[in-house]
Amino acid sequence: MDYEKLAEVMRNLAIAGGNAIMDIYNSDDFEIKTKSDESPVTAADEAADKIIFEGLQAAFPDTLIVTEEQAASHSENADTFLIVDPLDGTKEFIKRRGDFTVNIALVENGTPTRGVVYAPAKGRLFMTNSAGESLEETGAFELDQIGATRPISVSAPDNDALVVVASKSHRDQATDDYINKYAIKDSASAGSSLKFCLVATGEADLYPRLGRTMEWDTAAGHAVLQGAGGSVVRFDDHSPLTYGKPLYENPFFIALSPEVQLKQAD
């Protein structure tokens, strides 16, 4: 894989997809449809998916591409593949909360090694460079012209005063019960893969997810967190979360700064 080309292509396609999403987000109205799993989908999901899929396919014609909006067609598996959630946080998009992201990642041998997470309504873009190191870009997010960047890294947490982030739309009693095992200084809620990025920048120390997710929901955020020195582990046995699983479905997991002293599940 040409990692320099990949970093450039993923960034540009995330921004192009984000531009298409914002055109619809800022319109007076948009249609909301329901998929077979009862989850919502909008024209923004479909527009961004088309832009990103076609762009990746043109740039990397020999690499498997898995996207949420074409999930029913993904019956094959590969050691190396690109995985896309063109609009993560559709519920946040529909409610016009702004906590939605564009996610593109490369998975190699079960691990997300490169990724980009773009939150167009928040004006935040997180990505890995060609070496797999994580950065946050600031500026106008122009196509084909990268703005100012800064390296990001996880916190050195105080295990007696942790900052935890949890899902805005999917937080439940089981999640709260697990969070209460820790000494928490502060907590926040965020939508979509932004939660991984808040851990990656040191704005939070811990993100537990006790609910159903798919690999396209998590791969890009996982890559960004890993490039910032963090990790993502299974909730049940704290082994690394891997990718390329049957149906691309994740178990429960925990994203964290490595110095967090993990608690066992009940």
- Amino acid at site 155: S
The confidence score (pLDDT) of residue 247 equals 87
The third-level CATH classification (topology) of the domain covering 162-256 is: D-Maltodextrin-Binding Protein; domain 2 (3.40.190)
The confidence score (pLDDT) of residue 75 equals 61
Residues 60-77: tens digit of each pLDDT: 999 999 998 887 666 677
- Amino acid at site 62: D
Question: Looking at residues 67-96, what average pLDDT do you find?
Answer: 85
Spell out the residues 6+ positions from residue 162 whose beta carbon is closer than 8 angstroms to its own.
182, 183, 184, 185, 205, 206, 260
Judging by beta carbons within 10 Å of its beta carbon (0-12, 13-18, 19+), is residue 95 exposed, middle or buried?
A: middle
Question: Looking at residues 129-144, what average pLDDT do you find?
Answer: 96
The confidence score (pLDDT) of residue 136 equals 98
- Amino acid at site 230: G
The confidence score (pLDDT) of residue 37 equals 66
The confidence score (pLDDT) of residue 34 equals 75
CATH number of the 3-151 domain = 3.30.540.10
Residues 176-217: tens digit of each pLDDT: 999 999 999 999 888 889 999 999 999 999 999 999 999 999
What are the extents of the domains in the chain? 3-151, 162-256
Strand partners, 64: 81
